[in-house]
Chain A
Amino acid sequence: MDQASLCDRPKLNIPPPKDGKKWKKPTAEFVLKKHQRKEVLEWFQTLMFPDGYAANLRRGVNLSTMRINGLKSHDYHIWIERLLPVMVRGYLPDHVWQVLAELSNFFRQLCAKELSRTVVKQMEKLAPVLLCKLEKIFPPGFFNPMQHMILHLPYEARMGGPVQGRWCYSIERQQKSFEPNVKINAK
């Protein structure tokens, strides 16, 4: 609805329902079709990772609801950097797939243990272009503050060094280690 007022994308606009019927959504080009989703989830069930590389994603796959349960931050980290480009290739039209692969590559380079200075500078120029490309594909509701942060990430990497020293994994791990130390007195 917001999209209809903001953008010129007649194919994606959802027409208001005729008396009492359900809203019917036109299929967007960035959404997988039902049989494709099933194939993707079945592919997830066959995934195997090196030891200690990622959680066992196969465990969470639920074919009846077509979801994966219990994904953690690190699983998304693996998903967006490694699995996303493979997963959607061939299912989505090429121009969508290329942007998603670019996004995936963007994160993979930023999360590298060794960051090259020249690459980071290039990425700083690339980030707004990438965001604009995403804007061309996804509806306005997709862009919350977090998506905007893509813009600042390469700058911060150039300023603060590689991301390993600046992200929260280690701190959250530390917090987790406090959890068993907490006593609940009112039990």
Chain B
Amino acid sequence: MDDREWMYKGWQSEQEYVEFALKVNGFLKKAFDRGQSKMPCPCSKCENKIHQSQLSMGKHIIRNGFVENYTRWICHGEAHRAREEVVRQCINDYDAEAGCADMLADFHEAHFQEVPKEEPPEPTAKQYYDMLSVAQKPLHGHTNVSQFDAIARVLALKSECGISRDGFDKMLTIFGSLLLEGHILPKSMYEAQKLLRSLKMPYEKIHACPKGCMLFRKEHADANYYTKCKSSRWLEVDSGDGQKKQLQIPVKIVRYLPFIPRIQRLFMTEESAQQMRWHKNGKCYRPEKMIHPSDGEAWKHFDRCNTMEAGEARNVRVALATDGFNPYGMTAAPYSCWPVFVIPLNLPPGVIFQRQNIFLSLIIPGYPGDNMSVYMEPLIDDLLHAWEEGVWTYDRATKTNFKMRVWYMYSPHDLPAYAIFCGWCVHGKFPCPVCKAAMRFIWLAKGGKYSSFDKHRQFLPIDHPFRRDIKNFTKGVVVYDPPPQMMSGAAVREWLQLLRVKEGGGFVGYGKEHAWTQMSGLWRLPYMDDLLLPRNIDMMHSEKNIAEALWGTIMDILDKTKDNVKA
């Protein structure tokens, strides 16, 4: 577009007046080129709303000047900017060498280069080379658009506009009929996706015992029954003669989406690969403030204990999070599934909890309860492997391979999820999974619940006047107990190992001395003792519950207030 500053500059300035008039004349000629008698007038009074003849339009413009921001003459035969540029973008941006081919090169380097002296695994390599040949094959004889690029673009269009599968197939048929003879654009969505399949993320279905005792993997991979609880892996039907017949339909499926390839993919693009080192190299504007989990003491303590692993900034720390999720809306079936998320914590504060960086890693069907550690098995196995062995990963930012180690840092949960995650029952006498058995709540006989009333005076300094207060707390009671000791990771592990399993499940002494329900799978990780904060209480839920109770009590809402007859 030629420079149109003159439209607003020349008007009303004496030197440029003649030039302005000449240019307006040019504009008028161009506008009425196609022989219309009247056109929308662009003067500042008519504002393209009123139609004028060529003569009066010229008078108007000279008198009133152009309407503001009318540098693109869309009412006078010029194309609209947005439309024009989008079209141009597609044509210009297209470059067979950059774009997809570049991405594939990255992918290739990431997977197959410099992996020390090992042959690339055959099936993946073959898939990859198949795909590479597709990427380079031109769509038809007279273009340098590759087939791969074409597929990627139509599939992107499909997801952008939400085209249905049928619609997409029909669209491809039309495209195919428009293209030259001998083109290789796929005819259906199935064919298109088949060609892209090797770029997909891996995903596993693991059959589980319907009671949740174990997963049918590793040594049980081919079993049809679980020997201990005698439950069937497959759906059973009566075959008529009193016997049960197993169908080929599994009863319960746990879906596992390995998180390591997903984290590796973060390293495959330059931007996120650089962001993955943020926690060490990132710039801190105010060092005295904490803005990232890496500023916490738990993180630093871990770094001190494991200097070798922590020395490499690219090693990834992850958080695990789980929560009950009712997929069928709030009111429908009393069913919930428990997705487990893996969140890499290396990323900078603004990016860390963005949607694309929270990986869904495990979907547990139904409430896992005390069998959480069973379902977590594949995830923990991967974590263990990534800590002990490391995974070869290609880093796009430095263009080198490195051995990535991944470890667990902490987990944000709400309280019920916390309970199943660490294996401490939060209902009953010992509802605090942090204090554990050191904090015994009192039973309110009339209220029918446990309460932490008057349990916090022991945390006060020893000379605090509240400790001697016999009026305002429990009547006539003075507290001289020292605050309970926080348990270290090693102490908890020792405690758990000392527990004896009762016959028929559960631990001896449950509900009396402790509230352990299970040995969480996380204890298999060798570095658990070094984590100062292995799990944390979710601020959001505790804040909400406190606020809810306060609101109900202050506003005296009938069924919400805590100051009721029972209290």
Contact = CB atoms under 8 A, between A and B. Distances in A.
Contacts of B297: 158-159
Interface string A104-125: 0001001101111100100001
A142 interface: yes
Nearest to A118: B288
Contact of A156 (B341, B476, B536, B547): B536
B282 interface: no
B194 interface: no
A86 interface: no
B254 interface: no
B554 interface: yes
A107 B543 contact: yes
Nearest to B471: A8
Contact of B299 (A23, A113, A161, A175): A161
Contact of A136 (B431, B459, B473, B563): B473
A171 B553 CA distance: 30
Contacts of B563: 12, 25, 28, 30-31, 138-139, 141-142
A80 B453 contact: no
B453 A135 contact: yes
A166 B293 contact: yes
B72 interface: no
B543 A140 contact: no
Contact of A171 (B323, B352, B565): B323
Interface residues of A, number: 87
A164 B439 CA distance: 28
Interface stretch (B49-57, B122-130, B151-159, B410-418): B410-418
A131 interface: yes
Interface magnitude class on chain B:
35 or more
Contacts of A131: 456, 459
Nearest to B426: A145
B566 A1 contact: yes
B405 interface: no
Contacts of A14: 565
The dominant DSSP class at the A interface is: helix
B426 A113 contact: no
21 contacts: A2-B447, A6-B453, A28-B563, A32-B555, A76-B551, A111-B539, A114-B289, A116-B289, A131-B459, A140-B442, A140-B451, A141-B444, A142-B567, A148-B455, A158-B297, A162-B291, A164-B349, A165-B412, A166-B412, A171-B412, A174-B358
Interface of B: 286, 288-299, 319, 321, 323, 325, 327-329, 339, 341, 345, 349, 352-353, 355, 358, 360, 410, 412-415, 426, 431-432, 434-435, 439, 441-442, 444-447, 449-457, 459-461, 464, 466, 470-476, 532-533, 536-551, 553-557, 561-567
Given A143-B455, A168-B541, 20 more contacts: A2-B451, A77-B547, A103-B546, A111-B543, A116-B289, A117-B290, A135-B454, A138-B553, A140-B454, A152-B537, A160-B536, A162-B291, A165-B293, A165-B345, A165-B349, A166-B538, A168-B321, A175-B339, A179-B329, A182-B328
